[in-house]
């Protein structure tokens, strides 16, 4: 499951959504953690303290809810990148923000963005780059800022995200998802072990994914 960014200026709407989310996901209250800003912002020390709990094994899924994350410092947001990348079935992150544009793009690209109306219902929902690839009949993803001028390290990271995404789709899509997953793993190894142009490699991979889901 992708990390969530919940965007709403109405805290009551957020509370309604989270209450319903906890019910639907059958969340154990003991494993529901909330982080609120110290004074006016979430600090890097708060993120570091939260990250320390991640190394402790837990048999149940833990949920970490960070309120007013659009008021987190840039250092704090950057410190959350690695935990988001390593997010798995045991740890789910939910970032709450009144202004989603104040969250750095590298975090936005790793999350599913949920915009709420005043009643706490979803008014708009934007998935990751991979959501757009498999759902939208468009090619604008090739101009996505996330992949423009991409470095080798970022290309490998994008492949890791793709592995997590398509591995999670295997049960629902047992034909196309494994096909894409094999291609992603191959591309990741080639980028890591060979002197390939990361931009061309990523473009080629994304085009392959798009064609797999449209042809």
Neighbours of 117 (CB within 10 A): 13
Residue ranges matching CATH 3.40.50.300 in the chain:
4-127
Among residues 71, 209, 190, 86, the alpha carbon closest in space to that of 136 is found at 209
From 48-57, 88-97, 155-164, 169-178, the region with the lowest mean pLDDT: 155-164
Q: What is the pLDDT of residue 123?
A: 67
Q: Which tokens is 121 given?
A: 């219902």
C-alpha to C-alpha distance for 87 and 90, rounded to whole angstroms: 8
pTM of the model: 0.61
Q: What is the pLDDT of residue 18?
A: 93
- Per DSSP, what are the bridge partners of residue 32? 63
C-alpha to C-alpha distance for 180 and 177, rounded to whole angstroms: 5
Cα dist from 133 to 115, 136, 141, 162, whole Å? 20, 6, 7, 11
Q: Which tokens is 164 given?
A: 């997590």
C-alpha to C-alpha distance for 198 and 148, rounded to whole angstroms: 10
pLDDT in tens, 107-129: 887 788 888 887 777 765 556 67
Per-residue confidence band for 145, with pLDDT thresholds at 50, 70 and 90: low
Check whether domain 4-127 has CATH 3.40.50.300, yes or no: yes
Q: What is the pLDDT of residue 53?
A: 87
C-alpha to C-alpha distance for 18 and 115, rounded to whole angstroms: 13
Cα dist from 208 to 145, 175, 205, 215, whole Å? 19, 15, 5, 10
Helices within 98-151 (DSSP H only): 105-108, 129-135
Per-residue confidence band for 21, with pLDDT thresholds at 50, 70 and 90: confident
Residue 92 pLDDT more than 70? yes
Among residues 67, 151, 160, the alpha carbon closest in space to that of 110 is found at 160
Mean pLDDT of the chain: 85
């Amino acid at each position: 499951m992708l990390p969530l960014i919940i965007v709403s200026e109405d805290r009551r709407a957020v509370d309604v959504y989270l209450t319903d989310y906890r019910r639907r996901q059958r969340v154990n209250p003991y494993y529901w953690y909330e982080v609120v800003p110290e004074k006016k912002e979430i600090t890097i020390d708060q993120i570091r303290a939260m990250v320390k709990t991640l190394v402790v094994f837990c048999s149940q899924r833990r949920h970490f809810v960070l309120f007013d994350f659009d008021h987190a410092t840039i250092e704090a947001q950057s410190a959350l990148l690695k935990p988001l990348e390593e997010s798995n079935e045991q740890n789910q992150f939910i970032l709450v923000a009144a202004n989603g544009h104040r969250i750095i793009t590298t975090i936005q690209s790793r999350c599913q963005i949920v915009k709420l109306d005043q009643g706490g219902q979803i008014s708009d929902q934007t998935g990751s780059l991979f959501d757009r690839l498999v759902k939208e009949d468009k090619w604008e993803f090739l101009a996505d800022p996330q992949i423009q001028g991409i470095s080798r390290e970022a290309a490998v990271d994008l492949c890791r995200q793709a592995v997590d995404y398509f591995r999670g789709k295997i049960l629902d899509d047992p034909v196309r998802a494994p096909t894409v997953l094999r291609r992603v793993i191959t591309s990741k190894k080639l980028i890591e072990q060979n002197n390939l142009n990361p931009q061309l490699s990523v473009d080629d991979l994304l085009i392959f994914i798009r064609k797999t889901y449209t042809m």
